[in-house]
Amino acid sequence: MGLDETKLSKALNGTRRFHPEELTNLADITGVTVNWLLSGSDEAHGPSVPPSAKILPTRHPENNEHAQKRRAIIEAAWWLLARRGYSAVRIADIAYACNMSTAAVHYYFPTKREIFAETLRYSIKLAFDRQIAELHSITDPVRRLKRLIELQLPAGERGNAEFSIWLQTWADVAVNTSGRENHAQGYRRWYKTVEDAIVQGQEAGVFVDVPSDQLAMELTSLIDGLGIKVLTGILPPDQMFSHIESFIDRNIVLSQGSPA
């Protein structure tokens, strides 16, 4: 985690707060969600809609050693698939990246398609963890909505990788129905998180009185389209966020003096 033992001990006994990045790192290393770390439950109500168990990384009745190996395979595969694409990555490449044999990878995941499906669940967990770790301390609805979007930008290595997995999943389910429900449930969670943030602003009287599902559809569609432009090199991430922020200010945030 990059923490020395003293800081970790103080954070665990409550005399020092975990920073958001430390919380997400701890959740990643241990295989639990940030929501579980903060509340003792994956399903506790918070600033982000909890994923169902079906769209979180699959849990198995196994000891810690096997669980760590399984997570190592998924993390290695996540990076490789994000950077090279599904068709260019072999099981042997994944095995090499996590210092295992091909047979060992097959022991945990019989097929590459199963690994691919699991990388989407891993992406969903990463997004959920970031959202819970960062947004629970933001009470202003406008700041919270904008920060929620900012957390999902395809910016930096991890942001690019996460969006790449989503983009490849969209392309896959367009021609292969086997992963469609997994994708739909994961995307529904994201969409509902955006809509809930909009509803919070409407209830506070700072967002326009337009059906929240309509605003969420328009906003998420803008994010998806601009994200594709970023990944294909047409647009830099900072300009993507600038466009989204402008859309929020023009179409969602209530202008000062306008009737609610």
Residue 197 and residue 207 in contact, taking contact as beta carbons nearer than 8 Å: no
Q: What is the pLDDT along the chain (260 residues), one digit of tens a residue?
A: 677 777 676 666 665 677 888 889 888 888 899 999 888 888 888 889 999 988 999 888 888 899 999 999 999 999 999 999 999 999 999 999 999 999 999 999 999 999 999 999 999 999 999 999 999 889 999 999 999 999 999 999 999 999 999 999 999 999 988 888 889 999 999 999 999 999 999 999 999 999 999 999 999 999 999 999 999 999 999 999 999 999 999 999 997 644 44
> Which one-letter amino acid corresponds to residue 193?
T
Cα–Cα distance measured from residue 201 to residue 252, given in angstroms and rounded to the nearest whole number:
9
Model confidence pLDDT, tens digit, residues 145-191? 999 999 999 999 999 999 999 999 999 999 988 888 889 999 999 99
Is the Cβ–Cβ distance between 191 and 235 less than 8 Å? no
Q: List phi, psi (to 5°) of 253.
A: -70, 130
Q: Which pLDDT tens digit goes with each residue over 52-65?
A: 988 999 888 888 89
Which residue do the tokens 């800081």 mark? 7
- Length of the chain (residues): 260
Both tokens of residue 213? 């599902």
Give the Cα separation of 234 and 231 in Å (integer): 8
* pTM (two decimals): 0.90
